[in-house]
Amino acid sequence: MDGLKMNDGYVIPRLGLGTFRISREDAERSVEFALRNGYTLIDTANVYLNEEAVGRGIKNSEKPRGEFFLTSKIFPNLFEDMERAVDETLQRLQVEYIDLLLLHRPYGNIKKGWQGLVEAQKKGKVRSIGVSNFSLKQIQQIVDVTGVTPVLNQIELNPYCPRIEFQKKLEALGILTQSWYPFGGGKNPKLLKDPVLVEIADAHHATVHQIILAYMAARDVLAIPGSRTESHIKSNLEALDIILTQGEIDRISALRKNEGAPDFGRLFYRAFSTNYFEPKK
């Protein structure tokens, strides 16, 4: 699968399978199916509570470890003991290393959390390290402490919330942009029925979902749409074959409404304890 080079030299696939809001059973099945059908990037997180299932899906796929890219994320209430958090993440996923590990939200002790990821990288437990939902100011804070720049910032980004200027600023720092919310979700129920997207989809004999992912690819925005349906998983991957014209890209960018998903991160941060993420015995 085509990919983009990160600032540490590793290449990350443009498109992957996300597992947010996917049950353990569905995550295991979807991960196995995706890896058997062309996907090379799987994304999960501690707070999704399905890392163990993702690990089983990986194992069931029988795909060699060096042939897929695995991302997970550490939630803020674990930043104070990152060594333990990383080790338990590896344990749940049943892998010897993680390709990309992110600080999931910019709450808590982000400086200590980032230092922990840097150490995990030095020990070979993690190959690349990045952040999710961080502002430029917050990124600068962790870079100032360690001298290490994140390879990627995973953020909300979709045609109604395109984040074009923010992406440019990240690129100037050598940081890639990845969308965790490419289809807008419940906050933007009209997105998938937008007349402009429908028109462009019809012109390419494609679905609106595919056009959105083709738009992301055209902008060098990585994307990790989640799905528990095999046909959708296949269809999403086929979006990379769609080439949009510059005019179509501009029309989609013009749909901007500055709408975004509600930020539940602080609520989760306050509600969950470290023990919540301990592996079940």
The predicted model scores a pTM of: 0.92
Burial class (CB in 10 A: 0-12, 13-18, 19+), 58: buried
For 25-46, write each residue's pLDDT tens digit: 999 999 999 999 999 999 999 9
- Residues 176 and 168: their CA atoms lie apart, in Å, by 9
Task: Give every CB contact of residue 46 below 8 A, 6+ residues apart in sequence.
Answer: 72, 73, 74, 75, 78, 85, 89, 104, 277
The average pLDDT across 44-68 equals 97
Burial class (CB in 10 A: 0-12, 13-18, 19+), 243: exposed
The average pLDDT across 73-87 equals 97
Q: Which residue has the tokens 């086929």?
A: 238
Task: Note the pLDDT of residue 257.
Answer: 85
Task: Note the pLDDT of residue 279.
Answer: 39
Which is catalytic among the residues 39, 48, 107, 215?
Answer: 48
Task: Note the pLDDT of residue 272.
Answer: 52
Is residue 39 annotated as part of the catalytic site, yes or no? no
Asked whether the predicted pLDDT for residue 67 surpasses 80, the reply is yes
For 101-158, write each residue's pLDDT tens digit: 999 999 999 999 999 999 999 999 999 999 999 999 999 999 999 999 999 999 999 9
Collapsing DSSP to helix, strand or coil, 216 comes out as helix
Task: Note the pLDDT of residue 274.
Answer: 44
Task: Note the pLDDT of residue 277.
Answer: 45
Q: Does the CA dihedral 203-209-210-215 come out positive or negative?
A: positive
Both tokens of 113, joined, read 């959390």
Measured CA distances, 52 to 44, 75, 267, 272, 277 (Å)? 10, 16, 24, 18, 11
Both tokens of 73, joined, read 């994320």
Task: Tell me the β-bridge partners of 226.
Answer: 18
For 204-253, write each residue's pLDDT tens digit: 999 999 999 999 999 999 999 999 999 999 999 999 999 999 999 999 99
Task: Note the pLDDT of residue 276.
Answer: 44
- Residues 168 and 219: their CA atoms lie apart, in Å, by 10
What ranges in 147-263 are assigned the alpha helix state H? Answer: 164-172, 195-203, 208-218, 230-238, 246-253
- What are the chain's domains? 11-269 (3.20.20.100)
For 170-196, write each residue's pLDDT tens digit: 999 999 999 998 998 655 678 999 999
- Residues 3 and 12: their CA atoms lie apart, in Å, by 5
